[in-house]
Chain A
Amino acid sequence: QQQVKQSPQSLIVQKGGISIINCAYENTAFDYFPWYQQFPGKGPALLIAIRPDVSEKKEGRFTISFNKSAKQFSLHIMDSQPGDSATYFCAASSRSFGNEKLTFGTGTRLTIIP
């Protein structure tokens, strides 16, 4: 019940296109949903996050869409660039667990081709 399922495992998008990564969760206690970007050999970097009281959050080219009833959320990268090539992880946490430990999806390896 604490799982976060992420898809696709890998994604290839042409430069300038839209990259879409999806995540689904089961535990309705989750109340914080961040996305992290990780480059090879580096630590995950917080990209954007959303709470369940809003359905969409946009920061520059990055948008999170959140569907509370379906228990799904997704990351959209507009005008994808080669520099966006990285592994993306969705995650979720809940204060009701007593702390904000993150439960991560399995990651999506994104490749942007020229």
Chain B
Amino acid sequence: NAGVMQNPRHLVRRRGQEARLRCSPMKGHSHVYWYRQLPEEGLKFMVYLQKENIIDESGMPKERFSAEFPKEGPSILRIQQVVRGDSAAYFCASSLDRATYEQYFGPGTRLTVT
């Protein structure tokens, strides 16, 4: 599968628990973006990462949310102490490099907080 992979596809967490969302970019891509889509809304930028670096986290809430993209392995979006308002679809997209505009999206992780 040469596309962007995300897992899990569906995640249910109780309020106060932690959620970990994983994203493996397309082969050869070293740039990852995370977006959040609330029900019946468009996608909102959260964070942009390159391997081992956070480039832009201006769209990410200051508390409870963090992201990483280690040298080896997938990018991780981590949400601590989840609340009902965190329920959304979280998508990651990857691009080849800084010179390439095109972003390709994964299938998303649908987080439900009960």
Known: A32-B101, A98-B55. A43 touches B45 (CB 8 A): no
A99 to B93, CA, bound (A): 13
Q: Which of B4, B41, B101, B108 contacts A100 (CB 8 A)?
A: B101
A49 touches B91 (CB 8 A): no
A102 touches B91 (CB 8 A): no
Q: B-facing mask of A28-47, CB < 8 A → 1, else 0? A: 00001010100000111110
Looking at chain B's contact residues, is the secondary structure mostly helix, strand, loop, or mixed? strand
B43 touches A101 (CB 8 A): no
A93 to B42, CA, bound (A): 15
Give residues 1-60 of B contacting A (CB, 8 Å): 4, 6, 33, 35, 41-45, 48, 55-56, 59
B102 touches A49 (CB 8 A): yes
Task: Give the residue among B35, B43, B44, B45 with the most A Cβ atoms within 10 A.
Answer: B43
How many residue pairs link A and B with beta carbons under 8 A? The number is 61
Interface size class for chain B?
Answer: 20 to 34
A105 cross-chain contacts in B, Cβ below 8 A: 42
B103 cross-chain contacts in A, Cβ below 8 A: 34, 46, 100, 102
Min C-beta distance of B45 to chain A, whole Å: 4
Interface size class for chain A?
Answer: 20 to 34
Q: Which of B42, B56, B108 contacts A43 (CB 8 A)?
A: B108
Min C-beta distance of B73 to chain A, whole Å: 21
Known: A99-B56, A100-B95, A101-B56. A46 touches B45 (CB 8 A): no
B102 touches A34 (CB 8 A): yes
A45 cross-chain contacts in B, Cβ below 8 A: 105
| B104 in contact (CB, < 8 A) | yes
A102 to B59, CA, bound (A): 11
Residues of A within 8 A of B (CB): 6, 32, 34, 36, 42-46, 49, 89, 93, 95, 97-107
